[in-house]
Amino acid sequence: MTPQLQQAIKLLQLSTLELRAEIQQALESNPMLELAEEAEGEAPLEGAEEPGIQAEQDVAAAGDGDASLEEPEPGQMEIAGKELEDQGDGAFDMEAVPDELPVDSAWEDIYDSSMPSAPPDRAEDRREIDNPDNSTETLREHLLWQMRLTVFTEQDQVIAMAIIDAVNDKGFLSTPLEEIHAGLREELDIDLDEVEAVLHQIQNFDPVGVAARDLRECMLIQLAHYDPETPWLEQARTLVRDHLGLLGGRDYAQLMKRMKCSQDELKQIVELIQTLNPRPGNLIADRKTEYIVPDVTVRKDKGVWKVELNAEAIPRIRVNAGYAGLVKRADNSSDNVYLRNHLQEARWFIKSLQSRNETLLKVATCIVERQRDFLEQGEEAMKPLVLHDVAEAVGMHESTISRVTTEKYMHTPRGIFELKYFFSSHVSTASGGECSATAIRALIKKLVAAEDPRKPLSDSKIAQVLEQQGINVARRTIAKYRESLVIPSSSERKRLV
């Protein structure tokens, strides 16, 4: 493959944030490229007005094109428009620069890492690209901060740090206390009781119940912080301490027998227990926030679905007209070769961005055309769609469709979705049609949400209900889809009412 083709493929598979970083790197390494926003209103450099050279060439890196889906007849859709507009007043003469370098040329012959930097981009743009987020705090840092505020002896601080280091992300003690004690005895002459005393202090740190050795201890610690006048508090402690296994197994009949209470009373006790947090560590954020920048927006305007590229996602770049004019004026010196090579590189980069935008818009338009029922009715109306269908419709290879739909997002009235979300396998229906896996998952979610919590639907029963609707799905397939939706089994969904 030629270097420019390699670059086009590389840009095609980059996410929006990665592409912004790539554009910034190109601006810093190639003096021929500049941000269109920065150059607006500036006078051209000397020599820019020579014959064959015009002031500037604008390229919308994010694209200003849109595609509208009109419906001239019922059941028929037509793409009304789809193009990238040139925002400049004119384009300079590129005929003197060949479309391709000789086949044996290397990419390193064009790129020079020691090029002078382009003007720095705006501060807010840098913040958006880098996406700094230093406000988050890990659970370990949160516990250490509380430890330093607690009156501990030097010895107790060493013990506390050993205990905190053994706390996992969920907030539980991942190492037996005996092992922690054995490790500390190499440095300190302490008893197990001293380690346990420090553990009890840490368990009262925020979040309450952290560093518990098991779920029972975690829940009992949290119940100990409730107001003593809380209704059903003692019964809840008894249930957690003595019958937690029965509660986990949803054996309500045995619980009522052991607790000597009625169904309504047991319901009150269970509701109190459900206010506890079984994973206290999850209350402390330990991951940086990741933002999604949609590449494509879809909206309905006067009954017509319109597909547009997000023009604000990618900075607009163009060739610097002043430097381009110097190429015409210079001789065959090394300086002129330097300028010509970077002018060629700038042209390739801009063309690659245009190609990426055109491909992305074309694929997104095809997806919206196929999935208009989803946009209007929801997940249950999702149509089966595979890469081959889109590749055949737009006249591209499946690998290209795979690249352009990876880490690219579409903003719709129903939310933001990755383009790959709209692809799903199909299941045959009794009428000979097809139903997408996404639609089946939506139906399963709907059936579970509407079920009687005292008698939840089993996987076999869900399969029977879908069969009555003309969708033939095996029980094991229902189980697979249910697990992918993180829906517990019927026995685990059973509730008291």
Quickly list DSSP for 395-458: T--HHHHHHHHTT-EEEETTEEEEGGGG-B-EEEBTTS-EEEHHHHHHHHHHHHHHS-TTSPPP
Question: What is the extent of the structural domain holding 147?
Answer: 139-283
CA dist 148 to 135, 157, 163, 296, 346, Å?
A: 20, 8, 14, 49, 56
Tokens of 400: 């290209």
Contact 60, 356 (CB under 8 A): no
Is 399 inside a domain boundary? no
pLDDT less than 50: residues of the chain: 39, 41-65, 68, 70-133
* Number of structural domains in the chain: 3
For residue 38, what pLDDT is reported?
53
Q: For 228-261, what is each residue's pLDDT tens digit?
A: 999 999 999 999 999 999 998 888 889 999 999 9
For residue 497, what pLDDT is reported?
54
How far apart CA 347 and CA 335 sit, in angstroms, is 18
Helix, strand or coil for residue 173?
strand
Residues 243 and 273 in one domain: yes
Residues 339 and 373 in one domain: yes
How far apart CA 371 and CA 373 sit, in angstroms, is 5
Residues 146 and 265 in one domain: yes
Residues 337 and 240 in one domain: no
Q: Identify the domain boundary among 283, 308, 333.
A: 283
How far apart CA 368 and CA 361 sit, in angstroms, is 10
Residues 153 and 110 in one domain: no
Is 456 inside a domain boundary? yes
Residues 163 and 278 in one domain: yes
- Helix ranges restricted to H, 209-320: 215-224, 233-248, 252-259, 263-273
Is 446 inside a domain boundary? yes
How far apart CA 328 and CA 52 sit, in angstroms, is 9
Is 419 inside a domain boundary? no
Contacts 24+ apart (CB under 8 A), 114-118: 115/28, 115/29, 115/30, 115/31, 115/342, 116/31, 117/27, 117/28, 118/27, 118/28, 118/30, 118/31, 118/33, 118/34, 118/35
Residues 185 and 254 in one domain: yes
The residue type of 426 is: H
Is 401 inside a domain boundary? no
Residues 26 and 117 in one domain: yes
Residues 117 and 148 in one domain: no
Task: Judge if the upstream peptide bond of residue 176 is cis by omega within 30 degrees of 0.
Answer: no
Is 305 inside a domain boundary? yes
Residues 389 and 353 in one domain: yes
The CATH number of residue 214's host domain is: 1.10.10.1330
Is 195 inside a domain boundary? yes
Q: For 278-308, what is each residue's pLDDT tens digit?
A: 999 988 865 556 678 899 999 998 889 999 9
Q: Is the pTM of this model over 0.75?
A: no
How far apart CA 83 and CA 71 sit, in angstroms, is 20
Is 415 inside a domain boundary? no
Contact 461, 228 (CB under 8 A): no
Q: How many residues does the chain have?
A: 497
How far apart CA 28 and CA 23 sit, in angstroms, is 9
The CATH number of residue 441's host domain is: 1.10.10.60
Residues 242 and 322 in one domain: no
Residues 277 and 300 in one domain: no
Q: Identify the domain boundary among 220, 255, 283.
A: 283
Q: Identify the domain boundary among 283, 300, 331.
A: 283
